[in-house]
A = this chain, B = another copy of it.
Amino acid sequence: MASKERIQRLKEDTRANILEAAFKIVKKESWQALSMRKIADEIEYTAPIIYEYFANKEAILQELTKKGYIILSADLQAAKDKHNLPAKQLEAMWLAYWDFAFAEKELYQLMYGVQVNCCVFEKDFPEIQNPANLLWDVIKVLMAGTNPTEDDICRRYYTFWSVVHGLVSINIVKKGVSDKLNQQILRDAITAIIKSITGYFFFVIT
């Protein structure tokens, strides 16, 4: 009987609807605001029905994470295909990675464990700026010879911070990388940026 297949299709539809509803809620509200009951409301069912399609909430998140990786892969491939030279390809791919992160901000958060709700209270609490200021000051001194603008210092500060924070978060979230490798990457990057500031040398990772 062909109705079996029709029913199968309907089930797949509902499954897709659940994912769609979940994603819709997250985009309108946030990941923390996502609940099984809200999803159920959105698809006009009651909550337990979702468990006919997904083992639990985690499984829904995993499916959406998967979706993120698939989109990102496609974006990277497309970026690569636009160029022939490997250097140009790589540049385009990282820019595509960047674009993906903001075009699909919610998916990116899910994929790489980036929270949003943290420390939005900088005005109530000036100590937050202290670490930044300490680093900022030293960078300023280091650059003193080159008469830098505030923007110049800012860029250096963020470059440093990005490298270090990026490496840190990758290590906290995905604890696969070896410590030795990390330390080497970290030291190389720091040395390179410092040298680029002082103007003596260059970013040669050996």
Point out residues on A near B: beta carbons under 8 Å: 62, 65-66, 69-70, 72-73, 76-77, 80, 86-87, 89-91, 93-95, 97-98, 101-102, 105, 108-119, 121, 125, 127-128, 130-131, 134-135, 138-139, 141-142, 151, 154-156, 158-174, 177, 181-182, 184-199, 201-205
CB pair A76–B135 under 8 Å, yes or no, is yes
CB pair A73–B134 under 8 Å, yes or no, is yes
Residues in B with CB closer than 8 Å to A162 are 162-164, 166-167, 170, 185, 189
Residues in B with CB closer than 8 Å to A76 are 131, 134-135
Residues in B with CB closer than 8 Å to A89 are 138
CB pair B203–A91 under 8 Å, yes or no, is no
| Smallest beta-carbon distance A135→chain B, Å | 6
Distance A191 CA – B203 CA, assembled complex (angstroms): 11
CB pair A142–B87 under 8 Å, yes or no, is yes
| Of the residues B91, B131, B197, contact of A191 by C-beta under 8 Å | B91
Residues in B with CB closer than 8 Å to A181 are 151, 154-155, 158
| Smallest beta-carbon distance A114→chain B, Å | 5
CB pair B80–A138 under 8 Å, yes or no, is yes
Residues in B with CB closer than 8 Å to A105 are 172
| Of the residues B70, B115, B189, B191, contact of A114 by C-beta under 8 Å | B115
| Smallest beta-carbon distance A54→chain B, Å | 14
CB pair B169–A114 under 8 Å, yes or no, is yes
A sample of 20 inter-chain contacts (CB < 8 A) reads: A62-B125, A70-B127, A86-B138, A86-B141, A91-B190, A91-B191, A91-B194, A94-B160, A97-B131, A98-B168, A102-B168, A108-B168, A108-B172, A114-B173, A115-B173, A119-B173, A158-B182, A159-B188, A193-B203, A203-B203
